[in-house]
Amino acid sequence: MRLSDGSLTHLAPDVIRPSYDFRAQEVGLVHIGIGAFHRAHQAWYTHLAMEAGDRNWAITGVSMRSPSVALQMNPQNGLYTVTERSDAGAMTRLIGAVRDVIVARQSTEMLIESVAAPTTHIVSFTITEKGYCRASDGRLDFDLAAQSGLFDSLAKALRRRHDAGRSGLTLLSCDNLTENGQLLAGLMRDYLDRYDPKLTRWFETECACPSTMVDRIVPATTEEDRTAVAARIGMDDEAAVMTEPFSQWVIEDRFAGPRPRWEAVGVELVSDVRPYEMAKLRLLNAAHSALAYIGLSQGYHFVHEAMADPVIRALIVQLMTQEAAPTIDTAPGQDLDRYAGALIDRFDNPALRHRLSQIAMDGSQKIPQRWLETLAANQSMGQACPAILRAIAAWMSHLRGANGPVDDPRAAELIAGASGPDPASALFGGHGLVRSRWLPQPIDHAIMTDHLSKA
């Protein structure tokens, strides 16, 4: 039996069910990129807000290309479970926040109408770093944008809202990018300036793009996970998500209109997200990427396995506490030592089974803000970063195929650079991976080459 609205009478009694009537909620939020992370994070928080008494914040999910999530969720009436795993055991909750899933490539008009609908107030995004279609100068790459179709659909929906006299929208990026709200706003302006310049002013005055920081470890769900969930809940859940107990969401308190009362369920609304996003990128995300490439090079498969290696563990602690933390201007009350300690505890969680190969994907889109900003900041202070350089060396080995096929949008270019006579210059100089939008100053290539040769 499969999970759905009609099968809930057979759901195991220890599954936590919605206390609100999920069938009666109007859609107030459209989410682009409805993968496992969104379901375990933003949709989870929105579900909790409606549990706490908020109403009419149901979510229409959007998959830009693949129909797989729609095939998982639509037959289940948008219902799915989130299971939190730790040493203490597991806890499963039924989530009722998602109404349905649109596949944009098949139903572009439905996506535009959903964003333009009068009840919609927020459009949120988890489209990964490569989904923003940026050119080498940080502006919008119009060729990539044309292939994606995302910005065209958003522009058409905004035009319909404007022409119908409807309110502007909050566009809420939830991806691991520095100042993601500002970045999204700039890319949207780039598109409108070229294709609908008369709408640019309305977008700037009536819409808002707050920056955010999101934090929760959500491994890809495996068939083994789905089998375990089926045994736990008494039926099949094709959209099941596994995660850790910890979750954090920090949002710049700048919205264009109504929003869920997320603050009632633990979301932090602040005036400046930058200290939190910098800590996340340079500690958690940087450590994750280092664990991935170094751990894979040593034959490990999961995060907790790599953390159990004393040499790797020492490198990760050094990266976070000695190399990354001193480069961060903290917010009042932000304790980076405590944060690093909590991260180590989370990485050690054997119940989570977070695959290193999942973290290793799309390295070219991740490591500039995760490693290179820290490397450049330390260089400006005359400090070395042996842990990060060790991680870069492992990444370069990964590009050469040491760990199997490379999953990266720039794979061919990067593999050629990593296999050339001067890989440091090929990957990190001139037109390579290092771009001015990521770095306050160039990295000293001679120093990097010397360190990499020893790593």
Going across the sheet that includes 241-243, the strands are 89-95, 80-86, 241-243
CB 203 within 8 A of CB 167: no
Q: Which of 228-232, 235-239, 376-380, 403-407 has the lowest mean pLDDT?
A: 376-380
For the chain, the residue count is 455
**Residue reference for tokens 């450049």:** 376
The reported pLDDT for the residue numbered 449 is 59
How many Cα atoms within 13 Å fall on the side-chain side of residue 106?
Answer: 10
Whole-number percent of the chain with pLDDT over 90: 80
Confidence of residue 448 (pLDDT cuts 50, 70, 90): low
The reported pLDDT for the residue numbered 450 is 58
Whole-number percent of the chain with pLDDT over 70: 94
Q: What is the pTM of this model?
A: 0.87
Q: What is the DSSP letter of 17?
A: P
| 33-86 residue pLDDT tens | 999 999 999 999 999 999 999 999 999 999 999 999 999 999 999 999 999 999
| 407-434 residue pLDDT tens | 998 888 888 888 888 777 777 765 555 4
Confidence of residue 455 (pLDDT cuts 50, 70, 90): very low
Total Cβ atoms within 10 A of residue 1: 11
Work out the end-to-end distance of the chain between its first and last CA atoms, rounded to an integer number of angstroms: 53
Dihedrals phi, psi of 161, to nearest 5 degrees: -65, -45
CB 269 within 8 A of CB 251: yes
Is the pLDDT confidence value at 392 over 60? yes
Q: Tell me the pLDDT of the chain averaged across its residues.
A: 92
Q: Which of 90-94, 325-329, 388-392 has the lowest mean pLDDT?
A: 388-392
Is the pLDDT confidence value at 368 over 90? no
The reported pLDDT for the residue numbered 435 is 44
Distances (CA, A) of 171 to 191, 208, 256, 407: 15, 6, 9, 29
Confidence of residue 160 (pLDDT cuts 50, 70, 90): very high
Report the alpha-carbon angle 391-434-277, nearest 5: 70
The reported pLDDT for the residue numbered 297 is 95
| 26-45 residue pLDDT tens | 999 999 999 999 999 999 99
Q: Which two tokens stand for residue 216?
A: 């929760």
Is the pLDDT confidence value at 442 over 70? no
Sign of CA dihedral 117, 212, 37, 415: positive
Q: Which of 195-209, 233-247, 294-308, 431-445 has the lowest mean pLDDT?
A: 431-445
Q: What is the mean pLDDT of residues 17-22?
A: 97
